[in-house]
Amino acid sequence: MSDHEEREQHRATGSAWAPFTHTVFAVLWTATVISNVGTWMHDVASGWLMTSLTPSPLMVALVQAATSAPIFLFALAAGALADLVSRRKLLIVVMAALSVTTLILASLVFTEKITPGGLLLFTFLSGTGAAFIAPAWQSIVPQLVPRPDLQSAIALNGVGINVSRAIGPALAGAIIAAFGIGWPYLVNALSFLVVIAALLWWKPSPPEESDLPAERFWSAMRAGMRYVRASGAMRATLIRAVAFFLFVSAFWALLPLVAREELQGGPQLYGAILTAVGIGAVAGAAFLPRLVRKFSSDQLVLMGTLGTGLVLVTLALIKRADVAIAACLLAGACWITVLSRLNISAQLALPDWVRARGLSIFITFFFGAMTFGSILWGQVASHVGISYTQLIAAGGSVLAGALSWHFRLLQDEGLDHTPSGYWPQPLVAKDVGLDHGPVMVTVEYRIDISDTAEFVTAMRELKASRERHGAFAWGLFEDVAEPGRMIEYFIEESWVAHLRHHQRISVLDSGIQQRARDFHRGGVDPVVTHLLAPEPGRAPPVEPIPARGSIQ
């Protein structure tokens, strides 16, 4: 059997391992696993080191908060940056900076000069690096595999994290016990170099050239936020993410204290518990393709939520190391199930031009919920104890899962975000400055009065499409003197923003517009007019000219 036939067979059977037939994905995945082993060793060392520096539950929980807070604070800016510059170069620069920062931390630990505040500072810096890595890294996945393998590739990225979680904590526990607390930091600093080497080896295809200037940073951020705000699929994904991560953060934030105080264990037990989480996640990912064929994403997320609640109850009520390890196997399977379904829903909702920005917003909500939750559960545990806190979080997770059920996640519904070229270039009387604006576009429809209700429903869907692409105002009006004559308008920031809108209209958007256009009865095409706000003291550079023959 040829390599091509083997790849096709993998896809036909829905194999979870099909992305490994693509060399670039396999190399980058392997390098990332090696680096993540170092990262998990780093995280285990930090959690354990803080319990040695201070026994305060709040300070221990703040290690998790210091990891996730920078991602909450900086992920959106990082996503905009990743959509504006080379994602590969951005990853190389940030990982090099992280390697240097971690070497400095290792030297402070080796010389016993580290303090609780210093550890939180370096944890915050490490989290800042992760904030700039995460959107860029997730957004390059569609470049590494074809679309049929995308879901498996996203799941395998989660598997990679959990393979490293299965290896890193156990390795960290053994190294800390044998050599000292500083060595995991040194290993992590060196592990970044493996990913840098893999990225230098990878030569991605050059992006398609545009005749328009690159977006500016702040306008790119605004465009990303507008897209997500107007995307029902992204809103549902974010709501489901917060409902899960806010409560599951109690599991992660209190785990070092469960190992040390509730189970009276050492770093080896803590490493074994985290290893169990990793093994459970790998096993869960292996069975996930079968589960996907039987259950919807919404059902899988609910099952993962209920399973996590059961884990928290078990840890709260049964103080045995073997039971804790078994519960953490289930926790890992639930974690990878929920995280992969939420990530896939976000990926399917986003076109490439805004992918990193959209994913950065998903990551912001993810880590925002984890940060707030870590602080919240640390405070609660300081007042009522670890076990009661876990029971409260378990009950909250079940309630939040039930309340968020009607916010449905995307399946692989064949949503095509490929640019369609559906809009022709607008007609203008003379050259228009790219920064000139705002721009108002009007579209005149003539419909049968009996179709009004259905037309308005179709236009609501079209409104969301306009807003995803940058419209900050939209309206639909009917002529009182001529029933059935409908005028739609939408307004965008500038002429260049509108030209980008032309370039980005996808196959999905063109279908939405065609459904609205099908109601038009007043000629071949609705009449489209582009209008620019006049500059003070100057004549308008463009006269309103109807652009017939195009649907905007």
pLDDT for 457 equals 93
pLDDT for 11 equals 41
Task: Indicate whether 298 belongs to any domain.
Answer: yes
Q: Coil, strand, or helix at residue 522? A: coil
pLDDT for 2 equals 43
Distance CA 549, CA 523 (A): 10
**Whether residue 266 is found in the same domain as residue 332:** yes
Task: Indicate whether 408 belongs to any domain.
Answer: no
Phi, psi of 487 (to 5 degrees): -115, 120
Distance CA 296, CA 285 (A): 15
Range(s) of the domain holding residue 397: 3-202+215-403
Integer angstrom CA distances of residue 167 from 39, 182, 257, 282, 327 = 11, 18, 21, 12, 18
Residue/partner pairs of 82-86 with CB below 8 Å, 24 or more apart: 82/132, 82/135, 82/136, 82/139, 82/356, 82/357, 82/360, 83/139, 83/215, 83/220, 83/224, 83/353, 83/354, 83/355, 83/356, 83/357, 84/214, 84/215, 84/217, 84/220
**Whether residue 74 is found in the same domain as residue 166:** yes
**Whether residue 111 is found in the same domain as residue 164:** yes
pLDDT tens profile 220-257:
888 888 888 888 889 999 999 999 999 988 888 888 88
User: Does the reported pTM lie above 0.85?
Assistant: no
Mean pLDDT for the chain? 83
pLDDT for 478 equals 92
pLDDT for 456 equals 93
Task: Indicate whether 304 belongs to any domain.
Answer: yes
DSSP state of 295: S
pLDDT tens profile 497-527:
888 888 888 888 888 888 988 899 877 788 8
Task: Indicate whether 328 belongs to any domain.
Answer: yes
pLDDT tens profile 521-546:
877 788 888 888 876 655 544 444 44
**Whether residue 398 is found in the same domain as residue 521:** no
Domain finish residue from 353, 387, 403: 403
Task: Indicate whether 386 belongs to any domain.
Answer: yes
DSSP state of 537: T
Residue numbers of the chain with a pLDDT score lower than 50: 1-13, 540-551
Task: Indicate whether 419 belongs to any domain.
Answer: no
**Whether residue 231 is found in the same domain as residue 114:** yes
**Whether residue 444 is found in the same domain as residue 390:** no
pLDDT for 281 equals 82
From the list 139, 137, 145, the residue with the least C-alpha distance to 18 is 145
**CATH for 93:** 1.20.1250.20
> In the numeric block, which tokens belong to residue 450?
């009996």
Q: What is the dihedral of CA 520, 521, 525, 527, to 10 degrees?
A: -80
**Whether residue 145 is found in the same domain as residue 269:** yes
**Whether residue 158 is found in the same domain as residue 26:** yes
Task: Indicate whether 279 belongs to any domain.
Answer: yes
Please report the sign of the dihedral spanned by the C-alpha atoms of residue 144, residue 145, residue 150, residue 154: negative
**Whether residue 261 is found in the same domain as residue 307:** yes
Number of domains in the chain: 2
Phi, psi of 407 (to 5 degrees): -85, 100
**Whether residue 393 is found in the same domain as residue 445:** no
**CATH for 503:** 3.30.70.100
**Whether residue 115 is found in the same domain as residue 224:** yes
**Whether residue 325 is found in the same domain as residue 446:** no
DSSP state of 226: H
Task: Indicate whether 112 belongs to any domain.
Answer: yes
